Structure 1
């Protein structure tokens, strides 16, 4: 069920900003952006800071890897909006959309490094079951992933488990392929601020 609050409930200055974004991008403003502007003091400002740090902060994982993690967690959660948004962003960041599609189709046969594969397996289990075991973490570390990389991947997972649930609860509207590509360009240029 789409909540009407995403269409209304903004201050006049925010409405003007939305109009400017729509005019200059040629695309409608995604609901994800609208959500962070609704009650920014309660959710939006904190969510933007946390997500930006998880996705663009210092990490041994590349931006493409973290965007792929976001798309992968979103696929596990069956969140169509976030799958579309982060598949486009990961493909653009990686400059290999086919690799991104391969991971989302079957992580086991996808052409990725073992460390990333082990990390994605762990994120899938955590997303589905809400828990992972010591053995799961040993498998990730044995694949060459550092403890810091595990922490960084868990931050991406946390950000997108929250975002996926909000996207579904608020009924985020799907974008056109051009809309997802415009969003991907923005996210790669400006991040999540």
Structure 2
């Protein structure tokens, strides 16, 4: 059940920004963006900064690979809004919609490099079982995944396990495919700030 305060609990500045976005883009601001304006000191600002660093900060993983991780974690959590948003963003970033769809439908047969497959497998396990162990890390390292890449992937996993739960708890409104594509273009241009 969507709390009414998320529809109306914003100050004048946020409401004005939402109206400007609606006029310029001809679309309402997605609920994921609106949530960061509700109690920005408690959740919004820290979450935006952490997510931006995880998704756009320096990393050996490309932006597209990190967006694919976000989509994969969201798929494991069965979070429809986040699956739609990050599937579209990953497909645009990687320029390969069939590959992204392949990863989300069958990771074992998807046409991706083994280090990325092993990393996604570990993120899936962590998301579903809430645990990983030394053997999981050894498997990643044997596939050529560096310690820094593991840390970066875990940051993406954390960000989207939190975001998925919020999206589902607050009943984020689903967008049309065109809405997800438009949002993806903005995410790729501006990041998560």
Bin the TM-score by the shorter chain.
Answer: over 0.9
Pairing 1:1-193 to 2, within 5 Å after superposition: 1-193=1-193
Aligned positions, number: 193
- Cα distance between partner residues in 1 of 2:94 and 2:117: 16
Q: Deviations over 1:60-111 (max 9, x none)?
A: 0000000000000000000000000000000000011111000000100000
SS of 2:8 mapped into structure 1: coil
Q: Deviations over 1:15-53 (max 9, x none)?
A: 010011111112121000010000000000000000000
Using the size of structure 1 for normalisation, the TM-score is 0.99
- Cα distance between partner residues in 2 of 1:161 and 1:136: 19
Aligned-residue offset at 1:59:
0.1
| TM superposition outliers: structure 1 runs of 4+ over 3 Å | none
- Residue range with higher mean Cα deviation, 74-83 or 18-27: 18-27
Gaps of 5+ in 1: none
Aligned-residue offset at 1:117:
0.2
Using the size of structure 2 for normalisation, the TM-score is 0.99
Aligned-residue offset at 1:3:
1.7
Is the CA contact (8 Å cut-off) linking 1:27 and 1:182 kept in structure 2? no
Aligned-residue offset at 1:5:
1.8
- Cα distance between partner residues in 2 of 1:96 and 1:89: 11
- Cα distance between partner residues in 1 of 2:6 and 2:99: 34
Aligned-residue offset at 1:6:
1.8
- Cα distance between partner residues in 2 of 1:107 and 1:40: 36
- Residue range with higher mean Cα deviation, 40-49 or 21-30: 21-30
